[in-house]
Amino acid sequence: MDFELSEEQRRIRETLTEFAEREIKPHSTKWDKEEIFPRHVIEQLGALGFLGVSFPEKFGGGGADTLSQVLVVEGLSRYDASVGLTAAAHMSLSSGHINAFASDEHREHYVPDMIAAKKLGAWCLTEPSSGSDAAAMRTKAVRGGDNYTINGSKMFITNGSVGDVYVVMAITDESRGRDGVSAFIVDRATAGLSNGRRIEKLGLRASDTAEVIFENVTVPARNLIGEIGAGYRQTLKVLEGGRIGIAGFAMGIARGAMEEARAYALERGQFNQKIADFQAIQWMFADMATRIDASWMLICRAASLKDAGKPYAREAAMAKLFASETAMWATTKAVQIHGGYGYVTDFPVERYMRDAKLSEIGEGTSEVQRMIIAKSLLKDGYLPA
């Protein structure tokens, strides 16, 4: 496996860094404090092609590999995790689900506008009463003639109140359990689709998170994604790929926090020495860098397997687990290096720490990742790549 970035990937990273330094970094604290969703930035990212780097060229995408898409999420999260999460959910979940499983007609209709950010996507799986056990959903879709009528609600939906295109998982046959779940495309303007209470969060405050309510929402039967009853299987595949992106999201947070801490340690003095001169601080940086590099290698392996068409569920879970716990650990250390200043909002490391926590929860908690890894290990044994 070659860990060197290709020329195209280096160009993506460099161009994105220039954009983020100019358009995101100066505003991220304000967006966080005032809970501002920077839609204009997402639209700029779409116009520049960043939201479609790995999508087919025939839809206006870049036709690049999975790692290129991860570089976008990681690069954005390095400066503002809220923007990184918005992009990840839009690309990996909603747009990705439609691109992977919808009909050619729907792909041609939705994907070009979604990767250009003319339409934002929201992926509706989690419900108020079902989190890690996605199959315990209660939202139902009932067939009537040439239409389905959807009733229920979804919770903690990224882009939930700002989305234009919703991918909705709903029960179409209760008797079949997981094989009775189907996926549908629902446009924002559809009658009966609304939002519930505003969700206030610990972190990622510039990312839109909302409850989405479906009250007699009627959609054409052709809006079914793939086959009837295939929604849960589609969901598992979407989440597998999404976990690689969330690993990149977590790594970006960790790297951003480490870079902020490094700059502070090289500038701040104590006892006639820079903080960076103290061995205890240096060891924190050594451990941060090592864990971040290890996260990157796990991400590269999972992305490589995915693009090769090989099984990658365990490797994606490993990457997501390790990177997310690295993000939480590294941001805590970054706050510690700042001392009292790390605990106040004058410096961004407290935001990084708050944002990092979601990476251990979203798209499968750390406990779920360990279940996936252990189940694979016990079934297939351990064979390192």
Tell me what the pLDDT averaged over the chain comes to: 96
Annotation marks residue 363 as catalytic: yes
pLDDT digit string, tens, across residues 183-221: 999 999 999 999 998 899 999 999 999 999 999 999 999
Percent of the chain at pLDDT exceeding 90: 93
pLDDT of residue 200: 92
Does residue 135 or residue 279 have the better pLDDT? 279
pLDDT digit string, tens, across residues 307-365: 999 999 999 999 999 999 999 999 999 999 999 999 999 999 999 999 999 999 999 99
pLDDT of residue 125: 96
pLDDT of residue 122: 98
Q: What is the 3-state secondary structure (H, E, C) of the chain?
A: CCCCCCHHHHHHHHHHHHHHHHHCCCCHHHHHHHCCCCHHHHHHHHHCCHHHCCCCHHHCCCCCCHHHHHHHHHHHHCCCHHHHHHHHHHHHHHHHHHHHHCCHHHHHHHHHHHHCCCCCEEEECCECCECCCHHHCCCEEEEECCEEEEEEEEEEEECCCCCCEEEEEEECCHHHHHHHEEEEEEECCCCCEEEEEECCCCCCCCCCEEEEEEEEEEEEHHHECCCCCCHHHHHHHHHHHHHHHHHHHHHHHHHHHHHHHHHHHHHCEECCEEHHHCHHHHHHHHHHHHHHHHHHHHHHHHHHHHHCCCCCHHHHHHHHHHHHHHHHHHHHHHHHHHHHHHHCCCCCHHHHHHHHHHHHCCCCCHHHHHHHHHHHHHHHCCCCC
Architecture of the 7-120 domain: Orthogonal Bundle (1.10)
The answer, yes or no, to whether residue 133 has pLDDT greater than 90, is no
The answer, yes or no, to whether residue 383 has pLDDT greater than 80, is no
Contact 148, 221 (CB under 8 A): yes
The catalytic residue among 108, 260, 363, 367 is: 363
* Structural domain spans, the chain: 7-120, 122-229, 232-380
CA 14 – CA 11 distance, rounded (Å): 5
Which of 57-61, 195-199, 269-273 is least confident?
269-273
The β-bridge relationship of strands 181-187 and 147-158 is unpaired
The answer, yes or no, to whether residue 56 has pLDDT greater than 90, is yes
pLDDT of residue 172: 97
**Predicted confidence band of residue 130 (pLDDT cuts 50, 70, 90):** confident
The answer, yes or no, to whether residue 135 has pLDDT greater than 80, is no
Question: Across residues 284-291, what is the average pLDDT?
Answer: 98
Q: Which CATH number fits domain 232-380: 1.20.140.10, 1.10.10.60, 1.10.3210.10, 2.60.120.200?
A: 1.20.140.10
Percent of the chain at pLDDT exceeding 70: 98
Question: What is the value of pTM for the model shown?
Answer: 0.96
Question: Across residues 158-177, what is the average pLDDT?
Answer: 96
Architecture of the 122-229 domain: Beta Barrel (2.40)
pLDDT digit string, tens, across residues 88-121: 999 999 999 999 999 999 999 999 999 999 999 9
